[in-house]
């Protein structure tokens, strides 16, 4: 080995008995801290986020050094799975409503403008679909429902929760996309029975609903926040399938 590497035998034995350098000890402490951060954040920290976190704790540190240590010890962030889940199916025969909201996302009072949408959360048991009703006054969730199926019943459960919890009495506008869940007859009948004005986004234009909910500058309205809220509101049934806890909860 010494002949192959071109080192002396005395140098080899000296290296084996030499104490770790100050740099090696610093790296060991950094790696220990990196392990702790990755465990806390479920392996989501990449080089840049890890560098920012360590810089707040230990001060000046080179980002390339952080990346090198992460590669050497297998601490890279988990790669986000590439997937595309379609939650809006506008190819149906149901009638659609005009865009009455017209991107006017300001409300003068509670229960005047509701935005509804469907999203999804990846779990170890498959997709968990989440229906949301957002009151534009105060940006507060007033209704929600979760299911392993994305259908009209899921959207209707969220709407019924919002109606029973808030019991709106004034003029209320309900804005959604053109998905079949919101254009279905039973769903529209519930809205008509309450005298609620129906508004729908223009075709193939997500900026009218979904992006408005996702772009709110509050952590509870991001997809990650929605996922955390979903898991906070679920428990395991006897079959192991996530199900919603009964009754409204204070998710704002």
**pLDDT tens-digit map of 218-246:** 444 444 444 554 544 444 434 444 444 43
Range of the domain at 64: 2-72
Print burial letters for 154-171: b (CB count within 10 Å at least 16), e (below 16). Answer: bbbbbbebbbeebebeee
Give the DSSP H/E element, type plus range, for residue 29: helix 22-40
Q: Cα-flanking dihedrals φ and ψ of residue 113, to 5°?
A: -140, 120
Strand partners, 244: 234
At residue 206, does pLDDT exceed 60? no
Q: Is residue 105 part of a domain?
A: no
Regarding whether 240 and 118 lie in a shared domain, the answer is yes
Regarding whether 202 and 141 lie in a shared domain, the answer is yes
Question: For 161-175, what is each residue's pLDDT tens digit?
Answer: 999 999 998 899 999
> Do the Cβ atoms of 129 and 109 come closer than 8 Å?
no
Domains identified in the chain, total number: 2
Question: For 45-76, what is each residue's pLDDT tens digit?
Answer: 888 888 988 888 888 889 999 889 988 888 88
Regarding whether 213 and 144 lie in a shared domain, the answer is yes
The pairing of beta strand 197-200 with beta strand 126-135 = unpaired
Average pLDDT over residues 202-223: 50
Question: For 98-135, what is each residue's pLDDT tens digit?
Answer: 888 888 888 899 999 999 988 887 776 677 888 989 99
CATH of the domain at 155: 3.30.420.10
At residue 217, does pLDDT exceed 60? no
Regarding whether 231 and 121 lie in a shared domain, the answer is yes
> For residue 240, what pLDDT is reported?
41
Regarding whether 221 and 140 lie in a shared domain, the answer is yes
Residues contacting 91, CB < 8 A, separation 6+: none
At residue 194, does pLDDT exceed 50? yes
> 3-state class of 173 per DSSP?
strand
């Amino acid at each position: 080995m010494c002949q192959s590497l071109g080192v002396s035998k005395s140098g080899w034995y000296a290296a084996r008995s030499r104490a770790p350098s100050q740099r090696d000890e610093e790296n060991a402490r950094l790696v220990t801290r990196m392990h702790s951060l990755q465990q806390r954040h479920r392996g989501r920290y990449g080089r840049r986020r890890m560098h920012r976190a360590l810089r707040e704790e230990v001060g000046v540190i080179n980002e390339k050094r952080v990346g090198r240590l992460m590669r050497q010890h297998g601490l890279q962030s988990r790669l986000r799975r590439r997937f595309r889940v379609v939650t809006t199916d506008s190819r149906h025969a149901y009638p659609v409503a005009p865009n009455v909201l017209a991107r006017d996302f300001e409300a003068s009072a509670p229960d005047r403008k509701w935005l509804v949408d469907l999203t999804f959360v990846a779990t170890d048991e498959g997709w968990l679909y989440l229906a949301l009703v957002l009151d534009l006054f105060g940006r507060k969730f007033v209704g929600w429902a979760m299911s392993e199926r994305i259908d009209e019943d899921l959207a209707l459960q969220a709407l019924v929760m919002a109606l029973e919890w808030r019991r709106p009495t004034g003029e209320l506008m309900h804005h959604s996309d053109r998905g079949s869940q919101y254009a279905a007859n039973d769903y529209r009948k519930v809205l008509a029975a309450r005298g609620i004005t129906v508004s729908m986004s223009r075709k193939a234009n997500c900026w009218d609903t979904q992006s408005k909910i996702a772009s709110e500058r509050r952590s509870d309205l991001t997809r990650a926040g929605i996922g955390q809220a979903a898991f906070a509101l679920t428990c395991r049934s006897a079959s192991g399938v996530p199900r919603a806890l009964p009754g409204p909860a204070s998710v704002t």
